[in-house]
Amino acid sequence: MVESFPDVETTYGPIRGSWRDEVCLFRGVPYGRPPVGMLRFRPPEPPEAWSETRDATRFRPAAPQNPDPLDHIWGEVLAPGDEDCLTLNVWTPAADDGRRPVMVCIHGGAFLIGSGRWPWYDGRALIRRGDVVLVTINYRLGAFGFLDLSEIPGEESTTSGNHGLLDQVAALRWVRDNIERFGGDPGNVTVFGESAGGISISCLMAMPAARGLFRRAIAMSGGPNLVRFPGTSRAVARAFLRTIGVADVDELRALPTKALLKAQKRFLRRNEFGGDLVFGPVVDGAVLPEPPLQAIRAGCARDVALLTGTTLDEARLWSLYLPILRWMRPHALERILRHAVGDRWHEVIAAYRHSQPGEKAGNLTMAINGDLLFRMPAIRLAEAQSAHRPADTRMYLFAWKTPIRGGRLGAPHAVEIPFVFGNLHAKGVNRYTGNGEDRRALSNLVQDAWIAFARSGDPNHPGLPTWAVYRADARATLVFDEITTVEDDPLAAARLIWADVPFDGLHPAIEHSVPSTREMLSSFVRASS
pLDDT of residue 271: 67
Residue 463: HSE in the Cβ half-sphere, 13 Å Cα cutoff: 16
Angstrom distance (rounded) from CA 430 to CA 290: 41
Q: 186: helix, coil or strand?
A: strand
Write the pLDDT tens digit of every residue in 421-479.
Answer: 999 999 999 999 999 999 999 999 999 999 999 999 999 999 999 999 999 999 999 99
- Strand (E) or helix (H) holding 479: strand 476-480
Write the pLDDT tens digit of every residue in 39-90.
Answer: 999 999 999 999 999 999 999 999 999 999 999 999 999 999 999 999 999 9
Residue 258: HSE in the Cβ half-sphere, 13 Å Cα cutoff: 0
Work out the mean pLDDT of the chain and round it to a whole number.
Answer: 94
pLDDT of residue 336: 92
- Strand (E) or helix (H) holding 485: strand 485-488
Average pLDDT estimate for 481-492: 97
Q: What pTM did the predictor assign?
A: 0.96
Selected residue with higher pLDDT from 273 and 528: 273
pLDDT of residue 516: 72
> Is CATH 3.40.50.1820 the classification given to domain 7-525?
yes
First to last CA, the chain: 62
Write the pLDDT tens digit of every residue in 28-43.
Answer: 999 999 999 999 999 9
Angstrom distance (rounded) from CA 330 to CA 494: 15
Residues labelled as active-site residues: 195, 314, 413
Q: Are 192 and 449 in contact (CB under 8 A)?
A: no
Angstrom distance (rounded) from CA 239 to CA 243: 6
- Strand (E) or helix (H) holding 194: strand 184-194
Angstrom distance (rounded) from CA 424 to CA 125: 10
Angstrom distance (rounded) from CA 494 to CA 356: 10
Give 153's pLDDT tier (boundaries 50, 70, 90).
confident
- Read off φ and ψ for residue 336, nearest 5 degrees: -60, -45
> Which residue from 122, 121, 73 is spatially nearest to 431, judged by alpha carbons?
73
> Which residue from 165, 457, 463, 491 is spatially nearest to 314, judged by alpha carbons?
491
> Which residue from 415, 431, 202 is spatially nearest to 314, judged by alpha carbons?
415
β-strand partners of 219: 193, 308
